[in-house]
Structure 1
């Protein structure tokens, strides 16, 4: 019997997570990339493990991997977006805040996605209809909540909208300080945490439409019922771009107001 896309995306993320766990704390070879970025042995081998799972079950699908690029013949409208280790710098300095992200896109819609936390033994997943976390073989529905007031802000470049929005300015805004508590996790695991009620919101600048880093987290938040837009409040991947994902409308509105206040 053929495996479902839902089960396949979870299996692929778990395969990558197992590799990430196995290399943790070891001497890692670094492979330099552009802009001071780099990959490690764990990134490369995690991606290969994910690709092996996907290729065995869906040989005709296109795969876009962060490290290996675009592979596959395509033609069927199905594309897997693979981020084998989100938080490489964290991982390289033996910080466990990382994620393994896998998403399936058909056309413009992500229909299945998983974001695995290799060290908490959790897989956040969605089949496009609902959003869940799997721990110890048990699936629990994700429920967003703004109760914590914790807002994760991505400080990593690029900043295409820096003239009107810069994360560092937001963190210094008195209105932000009075209402929220900033966090900087430096991995898209924090996006999944919004869907899970562990963060009130997440903000980042950037053009994210084809991002292997963000596809899974965005899909999880949408399926969980979060409010998801660009940093200017426009529909995702339009207007200025970027991402504001919030647990509820009130939090989303407050953050958009703070972002707009930066424009003077």
Structure 2
């Protein structure tokens, strides 16, 4: 099914997809919470030596893929740890088996499992592009607290079944803003430059290290705004839908653009415009020279 050529799923199919997303996210969360070895070690690194992958990342993704394929064998899958496959249905599951790996590695109780189903605008079997895909359903599960955020396209967002009203409109100087940082020295230097200018303009900044939970915190009203450069599709697929269905504007750096690896910005409409103007002026996509 292609979003450009075929009607989007109706309410019953969306409910079925969301039920599956929640069930598999909870199953992976239970695995992460109960099977974490005491001597958890780094299995490999990704973008830099500080960007770790653990054995539990890959175990969680393997479980997600097995459960999804058991019920939806014709769907595609895009996973963080290399679990990618094309499908023939037009639906692709975008999964982050362990969002917040560094927190998990250190034993910090802030991490999540993120599962979303999307349709793209290209031929079935092609990897969907977050700039053009349509997110159908999303689930972000926090295994430590047990909280579960869910959303379906046009159906609103919920936390443990209770509807979410989204972030409040506040002026920039009273906004609690979430953000995150990349892993290469050049990217971090550029982000530090932006943070140094943003921090005096806002109430305060928060950095949890889990993009999916940041977007859900925004949807719940625990943050007023969120921005980050460098998110991968699995980092924001479910959380962005939760935030948008709760009433937030979720966009790229330029007004009207879609969130992508380049940039993700989310807040209530007036605040997203105000913070967006500040960020654009700071040129947050500029990369600092290598030391």
Q: CA deviation at 1:158?
A: 6.3
- 1:237 and 1:153, CA in 2 relative to 1: closer, same or farther beyond 3 A? closer
**1:154 corresponds to 2:180:** yes
TM (norm. structure 2) is 0.78
**1:222 corresponds to 2:248:** no
Say what the alpha-carbon RMSD is for the aligned residues. Answer: 2.5
**1:97 corresponds to 2:110:** yes
**Alignment partner for residue 245 of structure 1, among 246, 266, 276?**
266
1:121-132 matches, cutoff 5 A? 121-129=146-154, 130-132=156-158
**Alignment partner for residue 219 of structure 2, among 195, 204, 210?**
195
**Structure 2 residues without counterparts, runs of 5 or longer:** 1-12, 121-132, 285-291
Report the Cα distance in structure 1 between the residues aligned to 2:105 and 2:262, rounded to whole angstroms. 30
**Alignment partner for residue 177 of structure 1, among 200, 205, 216?**
200
Q: Is the 8 A contact 1:153 1:202 kept in 2?
A: yes
Query: Equivalent residue for 2:287?
Result: none
**Alignment partner for residue 31 of structure 2, among 16, 19, 28?**
19
Q: CA deviation at 1:229?
A: 1.3
Q: Is the 8 A contact 1:159 1:205 kept in 2?
A: no
Aligned length: 250
1:1-264 matches, cutoff 5 A? 4-24=16-36, 26-34=38-46, 35-36=48-49, 37-71=51-85, 74-107=87-120, 108-129=133-154, 130-134=156-160, 139-146=161-168, 149-157=175-183, 166-173=190-197, 176-188=199-211, 189-206=213-230, 208=232, 211-237=233-259, 241-246=262-267, 248-263=268-283
114-123 vs 15-24, which moves further: 15-24
- 1:176 and 1:39, CA in 2 relative to 1: closer, same or farther beyond 3 A? closer
**Structure 1 residues without counterparts, runs of 5 or longer:** none
